[in-house]
Amino acid sequence: MADGTSTVNLLGGSIGTDLKSGGSSTLNISGGSVGRHLEARTSSTVNMDGGSIGQRLLAYESTVINLSGGTIGTHLFADANSVVNMSGGTVNMLMHSYSNGTINISGGTIKGELTAWHSSTVNISGGRFEDRLFASNSATVNIFGHDLQLSGGHLTGTLADGTPLDHVAITYYDGQFLLHEVPEPPALISLATAGISGLLVCLRRRWSSRR
């Protein structure tokens, strides 16, 4: 168990059962394996860029999980004001937010269902999804991309990272999906170019007026 203000680095080897972090500690996982569950509590931080967790990664009580690599065997669970930032890695089954938890997904792969419950928030700008998306009990799922459409429980379009969307998206009991259009990369380049060109024109005019 990582506790207090300690920092624990897991670089290899195998932990046969469960691993816990708590009390503002930091746990860095770059390799090795946890046989069953990793449970993060009480404002601890877990940074995972490799290795594997056999079953569940559970985040509670204002913890922060930064997942950029590695594999979660079954569930990734964000609860009670915890925050999960996923930019890489793989969740093999269910990704789940609950009770004011927040999940930010910009990359990685979720092979099972993504579910948001009970006033939690999920923000999706990238990543690959292989099953349905689900929002219930006043939870909000924000989708960032372009050409986004949600009709008859079917979500299509392209995420901000360029990943295509074609998924079942289900809402119950005041759950909601909010679609946020962002410029495509060529549009961003065009905007930047236009801004630079406009600045050069203004500078030329200013310079000419001084001559």
Token pair of 111 as six digits: 């092979």
% of residues, the chain, pLDDT over 90: 79
How many C-beta neighbours within 10 Å does residue 38 have? 26
Name the pLDDT band for 208 (thresholds 50, 70, 90). Answer: low
H helix or E strand, kind and range, residue 98: strand 94-98
CA dihedral for 53, 110, 132, 62, sign (positive or negative): positive
CA dihedral for 184, 95, 39, 55, sign (positive or negative): negative
CA-CA distance, 169 to 165, in Å (whole number)? 11
pLDDT in tens, 86-120: 999 999 999 999 999 999 999 999 999 999 999 99
Long-range contacts at 18-21 (CB < 8 A, ≥ 24 apart): 21/45, 21/46, 21/63
Residue 106 confidence (pLDDT):
97
Residue 2 confidence (pLDDT):
64
How many C-beta neighbours within 10 Å does residue 211 have? 4
Mapping DSSP to helix (H, G, I), strand (E, B) and coil, where does residue 185 land? helix
Residue 98's identity, in one-letter code, is Y
The answer to whether the beta carbons of residues 125 and 70 sit under 8 Å apart is no
Mean pLDDT of the chain: 89
Query: What's the alpha-carbon Rg for the chain, to the nearest Å?
Result: 21
Residue 187 confidence (pLDDT):
47
pLDDT in tens, 32-67: 999 999 999 989 999 999 999 999 999 999 999 999
What are phi and psi for residue 183, nearest 5 degrees? -60, 145
Q: Give the CA distances from residue 207 to residues 70, 103, 204, 210, in Å, rounded to whole numbers and listed in that order.
A: 56, 50, 5, 5
pLDDT in tens, 130-177: 999 999 999 999 999 999 999 999 999 999 999 999 999 999 999 999
